[in-house]
Structure 1
Amino acid sequence: MGEMRAAVLFLWIQCTSGWMHPKCQIYDSGEDLGHFLKWTCNYLPRHAEHYTAACEDVTAIEEDLLGLPPNINTFCISMANGQNRSMSLGFFSQFQDLEYLYIDGCFTQILPTGNIHLPNLQHMYLIVKWGMGSGCCNCHIGPHTFRNLVNLCDLTIQGYRLTAMAPDVFHGMTQLQRFIISEPCVEDLSEILCRIMNIKSLIELKIKAPEIQTLNQSNCSILNTKESMKPVFNNLASADFSFGEIPHIEEGALAWLQNLTGLSGAFSQEVLLRLPLSGIQQIQYFSCSGSNEIDIERICNVVFLLSIKKIHLANANMRSLSMSSVELCTGLEYMYLGGLGSIHPSPHLKWNFITSLKNLNRLNIDFLRDKNPEICSFQKQPITWLTKLTLLINIQILFAKQFSCLVTLQYLDLTQNLISNIEDFAFMGLTNLESLDITQNKITQINANTFFGLHSLTWLDLRNNPLIHNIEAMSFTHLTSLKQVFLGQVNNPLTEPVIKLNLTLIFGGILSQLTHLYISSAMRPKGYMGQRVQAG
């Protein structure tokens, strides 16, 4: 009997949705990926004369991806739910044009390429499958696994338990410049740092490790290697760390790093005051959260000692906010203040604190209650440094000249307040304002002088103000720079079966310069039929 061999035949059919394959769709550089995992694939670049392979529900890479064309530039692979078998990076050596490799799934083991190189692979993403829950991927990855990826410059590993990898797993990576490690399921920062300390080419490092609760001095002896006892990174230009709740910081814990691009975590006031003792010299962006309030003066002391430029404080004690309490925060360029409103009542804000922050160009105040913010009543001289302001403080009424001192403001966001009334000339003085967002409020009427003085305004958003039914004539005619307007739902009284909206009367001569005018289908109360919209 002659030997019988099974043959696998793939029929390639080119159509508007790509090439056909049992597990993959193959797209050329000009095609859209359609519905396929837009959050993973669509942002990856594609090049002329190359293909993107988008593969779903893969169970075994070596078997399920047979028959694909060799000139694939980008692989985007979504593994089936659960833990899959081992994967060999050597499988991808048949795709010599491969530059981007994205794999969403967990394996028992990842094997190296052997003696075969992937000469063009520059970006690789190993991500635990979304929906696996809080458990980590216990994938064994041995020594020098990525050494033959000779041009890999960008690596992301998310949801893989780092302690399941060999201590020298990343040794031999000579071109890696950007490394993102997210949710590595370790409690000691040394488990991360001591595995990557020999990557001398590293320029950008991002670590998101919510399980780490104590910042101790790093000691590589925990890996039982002959490496230096402490990690050293000489070429880092950007380091961004995100942790969970940190109850303790050991003195000198971060002395090996000195400068941080970003640091995020939940800190109590006591632990926060120990941060300058950690050895850090400078932090560009600092984000602090937690269930314990932080006094403004205490956080500003840390801001001064660590030369912090941007701060996001979600657990601020707003009762401590004053001109004197922010004196050491004068170097700030961006400030986000959020209070624990559900736990502690919000005070009436002392807005004169802005006077002391002369380098501040962006201010965001959220989740507080100040129905009538007296932003400019304290100010005798104009504030010439603030360009962006976001307020979510349950404002109900905007009074005349409420923002008049903010003469350089370019962006004003009043989304999700309780604004029901805007007095005439409320925005007087904002001659440089370019963007105004008042969505999700309770505005019912627009008057001729509601937006008076906004000569530089190009963007106006009024969506989700459910009862706008009266827009006076000439309301927008003086907005000579306006380009985009979002009116949203326009309603009318029950006595009028037709909504009449004379756009020429409302906008005047500026109507022709608009590039975008959005008016949604008009709404009646539930159960009402027979409404028509008439625009003139």
Structure 2
Amino acid sequence: MWRLIRRVKSPLNVETLFGEQAVARGELCYNLNLSPCTSTVMVCVGSLWLLLVWPLCAPGWLAHKCVVYDDASDWPSDTNCPGVRHAASCSGVTDLRRDLRGLPGELRTLCVDVDRAKRVHSPLPVASFSALRRLRHLHVAGCFSRVLNGSFRGLAELRTLTLRHLYVPLDCCESAVVPAALLDLPRLRALHLHGYSLRKLPPHVFAARLPRLRGLFVNATCDDDLAEVICRVTPLLTSLTELTLAAPLVQELTRHNCSWNGASERRDFTTSANQRGDFPTSANQREDFTTSANQRGGFTTSANHPAVRLTVGMVTTVEHGALSCFPELTYLSLKMNEQLQEQLNKTAIRKIDLLDYGQPDLSMQEICAVVSAFSIKRVDLHYNNIDFSEFDPDQS
């Protein structure tokens, strides 16, 4: 049962509350259980038992597994749950419907951490959050075996959804997400997936109509095939303004062939160019090729292309035409043992704003050539040794 809480500025005095005579007669007993933020007093007067919960530091609501705060200033400083007003944080949740029952309907932000004793939980129940129809931001930490059609029913006002595996980066969640589950989120603007395997999701998982989705943030810690990951997000590229893909296990940059959704003009054009051997190998050829593709509808132009941040691992193989969906990158992080410029020239990338690059032995001359070829604005380098022997600052 939920109890309204008021701020207590002075220590709790049982005698003041119930009278000195009651205490003296032994008719009142209590069990004080202190936590960093609350005092729980179990009181018995005669045969009547009362449970009073008093906070020592903040107003709000308390339950067995949830804390609700009306104002962000009352949140503990170490909280990982973002919220300004009307926010709740629940931990150790084992049964969503039971443990969240009674939460105030006016909540705007809800953070749920499931019980860590189980690596994978049962399917996310249908209408798990349907009583919270005014919810704007939902952050769920845990791995569910399935996300069902109707799991998010009733959340038509939701703007942000986060699904995060508790064991990142040591493990990944191979959950089956039914594409229709996202149809209940027509106002969704940002989707965060951390530790969920995109390769295990249905190929058309994002084919559902998400007209207002602008940001997709994916930390695919266990996916080693970047082409498969790209195929999952392809349907969203025309509407997104921000895309972040982190796949640290990826070692090969290969062409993608997303045949499941009917090859787009961009993909057909790229495949055809690959088959003819027409992909560019120099910066000028790559620029001409990309411009031609844009004019023919082959690539998304910079005017409506999302800001793409891509992180991969130690790249050992690069196919001609790789990353054809991303001719412009806001951020690229990778490591290589091969010649950087030679490998990047194989891709369809023509511009990189920020390059985060690692290699045991670097040549400053090559780095400067790459910066010029890809119009790079900033470079973060990680190396053991760097060679300046061929570097001429006057020509850079």
TM (norm. structure 1) is: 0.54
Counterparts in 2 of 1:126 and 1:141: CA distance versus 1, 3 Å? same
Counterparts in 2 of 1:269 and 1:301: CA distance versus 1, 3 Å? farther
Per-residue deviation, 1:120: 1.9
Which residue number in structure 1 is paired with residue 252 of structure 2? Answer: 214
Instruction: Verify: 1:66 aligned to 2:108, yes or no.
Output: no
Letter paired with 1:63: R
CA distance in 2, matches of 1:240, 1:12: 45
Per-residue deviation, 1:196: 1.8
Instruction: Verify: 1:29 aligned to 2:85, yes or no.
Output: no
CA distance in 1, matches of 2:134, 2:221: 30
CA distance in 1, matches of 2:249, 2:72: 42
The superposition leaves residues 415-457 of structure 1 with CA deviations (integer Å, 9 ceiling, x where unpaired) of: xxxxxxxxxxxxxxxxxxxxxxxxxxxxxxxxxxxxxxxxxxx
Would you say the 8 A contact 2:219–2:247 is kept in 1?
yes
The superposition leaves residues 356-396 of structure 1 with CA deviations (integer Å, 9 ceiling, x where unpaired) of: xxxxxxxxxxxxxxxxxxxxxxxxxxxxxxxxxxxxxxxxx
Per-residue deviation, 1:203: 1.0
Per-residue deviation, 1:117: 4.4
What aligned pairs does 1:349-364 form with structure 2 within 5 A after superposition? none
Per-residue deviation, 1:156: 0.7
Q: 1:306 aligns with which of 355, 371, 374?
A: 374
Q: Which runs of 5+ in 2 are unaligned?
A: 7-54, 268-298
Which residue number in structure 2 is paired with residue 241 of structure 1? Answer: 310
Per-residue deviation, 1:319: 3.8
Instruction: Verify: 1:253 aligned to 2:322, yes or no.
Output: yes
CA distance in 2, matches of 1:274, 1:174: 36
Which residue number in structure 2 is paired with residue 276 of structure 1? Answer: 345
Letter paired with 1:203: T
Counterparts in 2 of 1:182 and 1:133: CA distance versus 1, 3 Å? closer
* Partner SS state of residue 90, structure 2: strand
Larger radius of gyration: 1
Would you say the 8 A contact 1:124–1:155 is kept in 2?
yes
Per-residue deviation, 1:218: 1.4
CA distance in 2, matches of 1:226, 1:279: 21
Per-residue deviation, 1:194: 1.5
Would you say the 8 A contact 2:129–2:152 is kept in 1?
no
After superposing on structure 2, the runs of 4+ consecutive aligned residues of structure 1 that deviate more than 6 Å are: none
Would you say the 8 A contact 1:276–1:305 is kept in 2?
no
Which residue number in structure 2 is paired with residue 52 of structure 1? Answer: 87
Which residue number in structure 1 is paired with residue 243 of structure 2? Answer: 205
Per-residue deviation, 1:147: 1.9
Counterparts in 2 of 1:115 and 1:11: CA distance versus 1, 3 Å? closer
Would you say the 8 A contact 2:159–2:189 is kept in 1?
yes
Which residue number in structure 2 is paired with residue 140 of structure 1? Answer: 176
Which residue number in structure 1 is paired with residue 362 of structure 2? Answer: 294
CA distance in 1, matches of 2:381, 2:245: 20
Which residue number in structure 2 is paired with residue 494 of structure 1? Answer: none
The superposition leaves residues 322-348 of structure 1 with CA deviations (integer Å, 9 ceiling, x where unpaired) of: 7605733xxxxxxxxxxxxxxxxxxxx
CA distance in 1, matches of 2:394, 2:160: 44
Per-residue deviation, 1:103: 1.0
Per-residue deviation, 1:255: 2.8
Counterparts in 2 of 1:114 and 1:314: CA distance versus 1, 3 Å? closer
CA distance in 2, matches of 1:190, 1:233: 18
Letter paired with 1:61: L
Which residue number in structure 2 is paired with residue 162 of structure 1? Answer: 198
* Partner SS state of residue 180, structure 1: strand
TM (norm. structure 2) is: 0.72
Would you say the 8 A contact 2:3–2:61 is kept in 1?
no
Larger RCO, structures 1/2 (Cα 8 Å, 6+ apart): 2
CA distance in 2, matches of 1:256, 1:165: 20
Instruction: Verify: 1:265 aligned to 2:348, yes or no.
Output: no
Which residue number in structure 1 is paired with residue 129 of structure 2? Answer: 92
Which residue number in structure 1 is paired with residue 186 of structure 2? Answer: 150
CA distance in 2, matches of 1:147, 1:326: 58
Which residue number in structure 1 is paired with residue 45 of structure 2? Answer: none
Letter paired with 1:153: R
Counterparts in 2 of 1:239 and 1:115: CA distance versus 1, 3 Å? closer
Letter paired with 2:349: I
Would you say the 8 A contact 1:143–1:168 is kept in 2?
yes
Counterparts in 2 of 1:233 and 1:196: CA distance versus 1, 3 Å? farther
* Partner SS state of residue 87, structure 1: coil
What aligned pairs does 1:59-458 form with structure 2 within 5 A after superposition? 59-81=94-116, 82-88=119-125, 90-113=127-150, 116-129=153-166, 131=167, 134-171=170-207, 172-199=209-236, 200-221=238-259, 224-228=260-264, 233=300, 235-290=304-359, 292-315=360-383, 317-320=385-388, 324=392, 327-328=395-396
CA distance in 2, matches of 1:316, 1:299: 15
Letter paired with 2:112: I
Per-residue deviation, 1:132: 5.9
What aligned pairs does 1:504-519 form with structure 2 within 5 A after superposition? none
Letter paired with 1:122: R
Q: Which runs of 5+ in 1 are unaligned?
A: 1-8, 329-536
Per-residue deviation, 1:214: 0.5
CA distance in 1, matches of 2:239, 2:338: 37
Bigger helix share? 2
- Which is further off, 110-119 or 187-196? 110-119
What aligned pairs does 1:473-484 form with structure 2 within 5 A after superposition? none
CA distance in 1, matches of 2:352, 2:162: 28
Letter paired with 2:309: D
Counterparts in 2 of 1:239 and 1:76: CA distance versus 1, 3 Å? same
CA distance in 1, matches of 2:219, 2:161: 14
CA distance in 2, matches of 1:30, 1:282: 41
Would you say the 8 A contact 1:300–1:325 is kept in 2?
no
Per-residue deviation, 1:22: 0.8
* Partner SS state of residue 96, structure 1: coil
Would you say the 8 A contact 1:282–1:306 is kept in 2?
yes
Counterparts in 2 of 1:279 and 1:326: CA distance versus 1, 3 Å? farther
Counterparts in 2 of 1:65 and 1:185: CA distance versus 1, 3 Å? same
Would you say the 8 A contact 1:265–1:289 is kept in 2?
yes
Letter paired with 2:200: A
Per-residue deviation, 1:138: 1.5
Would you say the 8 A contact 1:141–1:165 is kept in 2?
yes
Counterparts in 2 of 1:88 and 1:327: CA distance versus 1, 3 Å? farther
Letter paired with 1:166: P
Which residue number in structure 1 is paired with residue 22 of structure 2? Answer: none
